[in-house]
Chain A
Amino acid sequence: MQSLVIVAHGSHLNPESSAPTYDHADTIRASGAFDEVKTGFWKEEPHFREVLRTVEGDEVYVVPLFVSEGYFTEQVIPRELRLEGWDVSEWDSDGLSADQATLVAEDVGREVHYCGPVGTHRAMTDVIERRAESVTGDPDVGEGFGLAVVGHGTERNENSAKAIEYHADRIAERGRFDEVKALYMDEDPEVDDLPEHFESDDVVLVPLFIADGYHTQEDIPEDVGLCEDHTEGYDVPTAVDGTRIWYAGAVGTEPLMADVILERAADAGADLGDALAAVRETTRVAAGD
Chain B
Amino acid sequence: MAEPTPDAAPATDDDGTATTDDELTVPEIDLPSDAFDAVLDALSDLAPDERLRFEGFAVGRDAADEDAAYVLDPAGDDARTGLSERDLHAALVDRAAAVTDWYVFERVVGEFGPRRAFLRWIEDADGATVEARYAALAAGIERAWGQLRITATITDRGERRYEVRHEADAGVSREELTAHDDPLDAREIVKLDGTGRYRPLKTAPTLRTGWVFPDLGPKVVYETVETIYPATVANWHREREGELDVNHWRETMERQSGIYGVIQTWDRGEGHEHVNWVAEACCDDSQCLKRREWEYDDDTDLDVDGGDGVFPCREPCSVVVSAARKWTRLESEQPRTYEFELTPSEKDQLEAIVDAVADGRIDEIREADTKEGANRYRTRFLRAKLFDDDGNLGGVPTDPDDAE
Q: Which of A5-55 contact B (CB under 8 A)?
A: 11-15, 22, 26, 42-47, 49-51, 53-54
Q: Is the CB of B184 within 8 A of A43?
A: no
Q: Is the CB of A12 within 8 A of B319?
A: yes
**A43-76 to B contact mask, C-beta < 8 Å, 1/0:** 1111101110110100000000000000100011
Q: Is the CB of B258 within 8 A of A54?
A: no
Shortest distance from the beta carbon of A24 to any chain B beta carbon, whole Å: 13
* Chain B residues, CB < 8 A from A15: 191-192, 198
**A84-117 to B contact mask, C-beta < 8 Å, 1/0:** 0000000000000000000000010000000000
Q: Does A230 contact B (CB under 8 A)?
A: no
* Chain A residues, CB < 8 A from B200: 11-13, 43-44
**B76-112 to A contact mask, C-beta < 8 Å, 1/0:** 0000000000000000000000000000000000001
Shortest distance from the beta carbon of B105 to any chain A beta carbon, whole Å: 16
Shortest distance from the beta carbon of B339 to any chain A beta carbon, whole Å: 37
**A210-244 to B contact mask, C-beta < 8 Å, 1/0:** 00000000000000000000000000000000000
**B46-64 to A contact mask, C-beta < 8 Å, 1/0:** 0000000000000000000
Q: Does B375 contact A (CB under 8 A)?
A: no
* Chain A residues, CB < 8 A from B392: none
* Chain A residues, CB < 8 A from B267: none
The residue of chain A having its C-beta at the shortest distance from the C-beta of B323 within the complex is A12
* Chain A residues, CB < 8 A from B30: none
Q: Does A79 contact B (CB under 8 A)?
A: yes
Q: Max chain A CB contacts within 10 Å: which of B198, B231, B258?
A: B231
Shortest distance from the beta carbon of A28 to any chain B beta carbon, whole Å: 13
Shortest distance from the beta carbon of B10 to any chain A beta carbon, whole Å: 34
* Chain A residues, CB < 8 A from B234: 50, 53-54
* Chain A residues, CB < 8 A from B318: 12, 42-44, 47
Q: Does B369 contact A (CB under 8 A)?
A: no
Instruction: Give the size of the chain A interface in residues (CB under 8 angstroms).
Output: 24
Q: Which of B317-332 contact A (CB under 8 A)?
A: 317-319, 322
Task: Give Cα A38 to B63, complex, Å.
Answer: 45
Q: Which of B198, B202, B235 contacts A53 (CB 8 A)?
A: B235
Task: Give Cα A15 to B226, complex, Å.
Answer: 19
* Chain B residues, CB < 8 A from A44: 200, 202, 318
Shortest distance from the beta carbon of B324 to any chain A beta carbon, whole Å: 13
* Chain B residues, CB < 8 A from A54: 114, 226, 230-231, 234
* Chain A residues, CB < 8 A from B258: 71, 75-76
Query: How many contacts A-B (CB < 8 Å)?
Result: 58
The residue of chain B having its C-beta at the shortest distance from the C-beta of A14 within the complex is B198
Q: Max chain B CB contacts within 10 Å: which of A11, A54, A107?
A: A54
**B198-212 to A contact mask, C-beta < 8 Å, 1/0:** 101111000000000
Task: Give Cα A54 to B113, complex, Å.
Answer: 10
Shortest distance from the beta carbon of A111 to any chain B beta carbon, whole Å: 17
* Chain A residues, CB < 8 A from B245: 107
Task: Give Cα A60 to B315, complex, Å.
Answer: 24
Q: Which of B294-335 contact A (CB under 8 A)?
A: 314-315, 317-319, 322
Q: Which of A11, A26, A51 contacts B231 (CB 8 A)?
A: A51
Task: Give Cα A42 to B203, complex, Å.
Answer: 16
Q: Does B347 contact A (CB under 8 A)?
A: no
Shortest distance from the beta carbon of A77 to any chain B beta carbon, whole Å: 12
Shortest distance from the beta carbon of B172 to any chain A beta carbon, whole Å: 26
Q: Is the CB of A45 within 8 A of B202?
A: yes
Task: Give Cα A56 to B226, complex, Å.
Answer: 13
* Chain B residues, CB < 8 A from A45: 201-203, 230-231, 317
Shortest distance from the beta carbon of B101 to any chain A beta carbon, whole Å: 22
Q: Max chain A CB contacts within 10 Å: which of B112, B191, B230?
A: B230
Q: Does B238 contact A (CB under 8 A)?
A: yes
Task: Give Cα A79 to B184, complex, Å.
Answer: 28
Q: Which of A12, A49, A75, A79 contacts B322 (CB 8 A)?
A: A12
* Chain A residues, CB < 8 A from B322: 12, 43
Task: Give Cα A47 to B230, complex, Å.
Answer: 9
Q: Is the CB of A50 within 8 A of B235?
A: yes
Task: Give Cα A15 to B190, complex, Å.
Answer: 10
Shortest distance from the beta carbon of B102 to any chain A beta carbon, whole Å: 21
* Chain B residues, CB < 8 A from A47: 231, 317-318
Q: Is the CB of B231 within 8 A of A50?
A: yes
* Chain A residues, CB < 8 A from B198: 13-15
The residue of chain B having its C-beta at the shortest distance from the C-beta of A75 within the complex is B257
Q: Does B255 contact A (CB under 8 A)?
A: yes
* Chain A residues, CB < 8 A from B314: 50
* Chain A residues, CB < 8 A from B112: 56
* Chain A residues, CB < 8 A from B202: 44-45
* Chain A residues, CB < 8 A from B315: 49
The residue of chain B having its C-beta at the shortest distance from the C-beta of A22 within the complex is B187
- Contact A76:B319 (CB < 8 A) given known A50-B234, A56-B112: no
Shortest distance from the beta carbon of A108 to any chain B beta carbon, whole Å: 10
**A-B contact list, 19 entries, CB within 8 Å:** A12-B318, A22-B184, A42-B318, A44-B200, A45-B202, A45-B203, A45-B230, A46-B230, A46-B231, A47-B231, A47-B318, A50-B231, A50-B234, A50-B235, A50-B314, A53-B114, A53-B231, A53-B234, A76-B258
In the complex, given contacts A12-B319, A13-B200, what are 6 additional A-B residue pairs having Cβ atoms less than 8 angstroms apart?
Answer: A14-B198, A43-B318, A45-B201, A47-B231, A53-B234, A53-B238
Give the top 10 A-B pairs by smallest Cβ distance, nearest first.
A46-B230, A12-B200, A50-B231, A15-B198, A45-B230, A46-B231, A53-B234, A45-B202, A56-B112, A15-B191
